[in-house]
Amino acid sequence: MNTFFETVRETVENLGKEFSRAPELGDAGMAIRVIGEYSAGKTRLVRELIRDLAPAALLPVSSQEVQTRLPLEVTYGETPALQLVRRAWDTEAAQILRELPAFPERKDITDEDPGEMRLRLAVPEPRLTLAEGDGLYEDDTQPKRLFLIDMPGWNSEDDASGADGLELSEDWENLALVYVSHVTRLDSALNQRQLELFLQALNDGTLLRARDRLPLFFLITACPAEERAAVEKKLAERIRARLGDDDKFLVRIAAVDFNAMSAEELTRFRSAFWDHVLLESPSPALEQNSVSRRIENWPEACALRPYFARCADFIARLDALFSRVCATGSYMGGRSMRFFSGLDAPGMVSRARALWYKQLEEPRGLEAITGLALPELPADHPLAPWLEVYWYPRLRGFHERMLAFFTRADQTLGLLTPDIDDLEAWLAERLDDSRRAAGEALPRSFRRMCDSIAGLPEDMPEMRRMATILTLSLLEARYDDAWRRWQWYLNRTADEAPETTDDK
């Protein structure tokens, strides 16, 4: 049979597992696509967005070194992993074919069909998740993985169709589109033609919007700092000439040189990039395994600090009432039956109750005392198992014994009659056991723990507050078990001790 401490420990351990358990994630039907011509810098962009999140061997390599013909979809995963998957279109469930120990070279996957196969790189980037689903189906609000997809270059050596064959698909569910150009080719006839066809596809609906508005991020790579303002202005004019001021498209243009970027500049770029492409995200990012974030975002009804403040007030109010019961050493303030002389039984009861509740400083009587409700948190609170196993039983036992005493006292006063000889002895005989039980209802160790909780800093993060409280409960439960075992041992020793005689 488990001790109290073991039961509390198991509950706390299970809570820890529950908080750290990652939700099941499906594949979102929409994606953020990175498109552009061969060697424009698409892969470099992806590398710079995720380079700190995965081993170097798994990161995509620039097409100037090693390249593939397959789309690369980057998404969320607790542990970095690279896979070859079968997935022809965005809304199709992926079939994992095999794990890859390193980013493959073109020669390693020459037989794979780019229309059927993709590479999937999982990294611990929470922004590549959708907490409440992708919004494509109203009845589907399960957490999902969002995809950043690096598409093969339009005019790569394998693209025989030339500049007009952009291979833009009507099947794409576009949450955002990222168009990448190399600064040295921005003004080339080929690139300008590609940009024209891309913007035309946006206007004629070939490129669908997954949401009402479509964020567009235009990136110009390898651009020297002194040229950026002019280059960005030039591209903005070309885009505006085709799209106008249509608010269906949310345009942002950035000219960068990743080789010259400081760590601080790269951090700012990443933030700006994600903020823009996720402008129309259907749901917030899911903070995987971020117990702290989940707790900090609890609704007000679940917040721990105000709840434990209510508990402290609840205990203090009952303690204050109880402290006045025999504050002068007697139940009726030292008054004898003479105080009730000349009164019949109903008169005695009325005066005794008035005196009793005046002594308790509770003019509203028993109804006010029994109306003190045990503070509780919502039934679906994340700490519900711990509350039910540890916290509530402690408070309920205290509450119930206190109410039992005050109810018994009120009932006892209702039995007063003029023929009672010794009022205090009569009351003590009927109330002492119940008063003793009420006074011992809340273990001293629990009271000390409550004092410690009340003394926690007001600005302590909610995660740390919860962890501290759970740790204190384990210590208190262990102490309580040890104290009870010691009391049992002392009582048994006293019962088994041999009787002594005066002759010994």
pLDDT tens string, the chain, 504 residues long: the values are 578 899 999 999 988 887 777 677 889 988 999 998 888 999 999 999 998 899 999 998 765 444 557 899 999 998 899 999 998 888 888 899 999 999 987 676 767 777 788 999 999 999 999 988 888 887 788 889 999 999 888 764 444 443 455 678 778 889 999 999 999 999 988 888 889 999 999 988 888 787 889 999 999 999 999 999 999 999 999 999 999 888 899 999 999 999 999 999 999 999 999 999 999 999 888 865 556 666 767 788 889 999 999 999 999 999 999 999 998 889 998 889 999 999 999 999 999 999 999 999 999 999 999 999 999 999 989 899 999 999 999 999 999 999 999 999 999 999 999 999 999 999 999 999 999 999 999 999 999 999 999 999 998 888 889 999 999 999 999 998 888 888 887 877 666 655 544 443
Residue listed under structure tokens 């809340």: 442
Residue 498: what pLDDT? 55
Q: Looking only at Cα atoms, what is the longest distance across the chain?
A: 122
Q: Phi then psi for 147, rounded to 5 degrees?
A: -120, 135
Compute the distance between CA of residue 369 and CA of residue 366 in angstroms, rounded to an integer: 5
Compute the distance between CA of residue 26 and CA of residue 129 in angstroms, rounded to an integer: 10
Alpha-carbon separation of residue 420 from 100, 341, 406 (angstroms): 92, 11, 21
Residue 68: what pLDDT? 59
Query: Burial code of 187-226, b = ≥16 C-beta within 10 A, e = fewer?
Result: eeeebeebbebbbebbeeeebebbbeebbbbbbbbbbeee
Residue 288: what pLDDT? 56
Whether the full predicted model's pTM is greater than 0.75, yes or no, is: no
Compute the distance between CA of residue 402 and CA of residue 440 in angstroms, rounded to an integer: 10
- Chain centroid, CA 383 distance in Å: 12
Compute the distance between CA of residue 399 and CA of residue 315 in angstroms, rounded to an integer: 9
Residue 136: what pLDDT? 82
Residue 271: what pLDDT? 96
Token representation of residue 460: 């302590």
